[in-house]
Every structure is written in structure tokens, then in C-alpha cells.
Structure 1
Amino acid sequence: MSKYNYDTVVEALDDLRKRGYTEGFSLRPYCLECPQLQLELGAREFKIDEVHRFEDASSPDDSSVVYAISSDRGMKGVLVDAYGTYADSVTSEMAYKLKIG
């Protein structure tokens, strides 16, 4: 459990950026992609430092999760995703790493 608690996704992203999580990651079926750096990280090349879940009580379909991610290459960034959006479209290794599905 993280020692950081946020009320909104924006609040989480702002604080994570201040703490050095500056890159933006996109989830691909077999990796995380960092378009700004033209880089792909396989499941064994990154770790999840923090996970922050946000649920909209009025619209459960609007739930999202923010991952704070670091890699052995020295970069830190975030991945923002809706709950379960990619559960069927990623490899089992990536699903396990992100604990989705």
C-alpha cells in the first residue's frame, strides 16, 4: 500500500511528476511504450512502484488506475489506464505484471 493518497487522477499525476515520474507510458500488448523516448520496455524491464485506483461512484465505467513505473534504465514515468480496458489485449506476462484481467 502506498503512503500517498490522492483524491483525483490529476492530483496523483501532478505529485508523481514532482517526484520524478516524468515520462508517459502507453500500454501495448507485449510492452510499455514511451513514445517521447522511442523506447519499449518488456515486463522484465520495469517495476511498478505505486498503484493508485480511482472510482467514480456515479459512473463505475469511469474508473481508472495510475501506475508509477520505474525501469532499470533509470527512467520513471506513469501509465494511466481504465480498469480492465486492456485485460484481453496484452500478453499474460504483461497482465500478470500489471495484475489486470
Structure 2
Amino acid sequence: METKYDYLTVTAALNELQDLGYSHDFNIDFDKLFFSAEDYVIDYLYRYEGITNPSDESTVYGLRNQRTDEKGVFVVGDLSLVEGKKREIIINLEIRSKNQG
């Protein structure tokens, strides 16, 4: 997993991932992650932390299905505000991806 902290905007991170083939939007279609999270890894993680305001935090994940090679993105603001299974899945993906890299 490659982690970047120095991108300009979420849009810039999304454009870079789009150029790398990460085209599926998992924010819209989270069911794929929900039902088969074990098949996914985080290839890229772009974390933006606002210089003056902590509420400016956002993270862009470049996700890849290891079985099908489908690539997509998931964008979240402050992950601590995400509740339930969605938060658990993303945290587990981060842990697993860090351990593999």
C-alpha cells in the first residue's frame, strides 16, 4: 500500500487514481465491499489533514479486488464519524493492507 500525504485536493487524488484505472465508485456501490471485503486490498491511500482545521480531514482509498482485479475508489472524511459495518470494513482493510506491505 502506498500512502501519500502531499496531494492538493481530493479531486487531484481521484484524478490520479482514475488515470491508474481506479474507476469504480465504492461510495455509491458499497455492497461489493460489504459482501466480499476479504477480496479487496488498499493499493493507494491519500490522506489529507487540514493545516488549520481538523474538520478538513479526508482520505481517498484506491481499492483493488484481488480476485477480479476490479479497481475503484472510496472517499471518506473523518473516519471516526463513520458508523457501523462500513467503518469496520475500512479499518480492517487498512490493517490488512499495512501488514501485507
Question: Shared fold (TM-score greater than 0.5)?
Answer: yes
Higher relative contact order, chain-length normalized (CA < 8 Å, sep 6+): 2
Secondary structure, counterpart of 1:78 in structure 2: strand
The amino acid of 2:2's aligned partner reads S
Could you report, residue by residue, the CA deviation over 1:35-77 in whole angstroms, capped at 9, with x for unpaired residues?
xxxx523220211101110011222112000000010222101
Secondary structure, counterpart of 1:73 in structure 2: coil
Tell whether the 8 Å contact from 2:3 to 2:45 is kept in structure 1 after alignment: no
> Residues 56 and 15 from structure 1, CA distance in 2 versus in 1: closer, same or farther, beyond 3 angstroms?
same
The amino acid of 1:98's aligned partner reads E
Report the aligned-residue RMSD: 2.6
Q: Does 1:47 align with 2:41?
A: yes
Q: Does 1:10 align with 2:2?
A: no
Could you report, residue by residue, the CA deviation over 1:17-42 in whole angstroms, capped at 9, with x for unpaired residues?
01100110128xxxx72xxxxx5232
- TM norm structure 2: 0.72
Q: Could you tell me the percent identity over the aligned residues? A: 29
More strand by share: 1
Give 1:3 shift: 7.5
Q: What is residue 79 of structure 1 aligned with on the other side? A: 74
CA distance in 2 between partners of 1:92 and 1:62 (Å): 19
Return 17-26 or 40-49, whichever deviates more: 40-49
Which residues of structure 1 form unaligned runs of 5+? 34-38
Give 1:90 shift: 2.0
Give 1:79 shift: 0.3
Give the total of aligned pairs: 89
- TM norm structure 1: 0.72
Secondary structure, counterpart of 1:66 in structure 2: strand
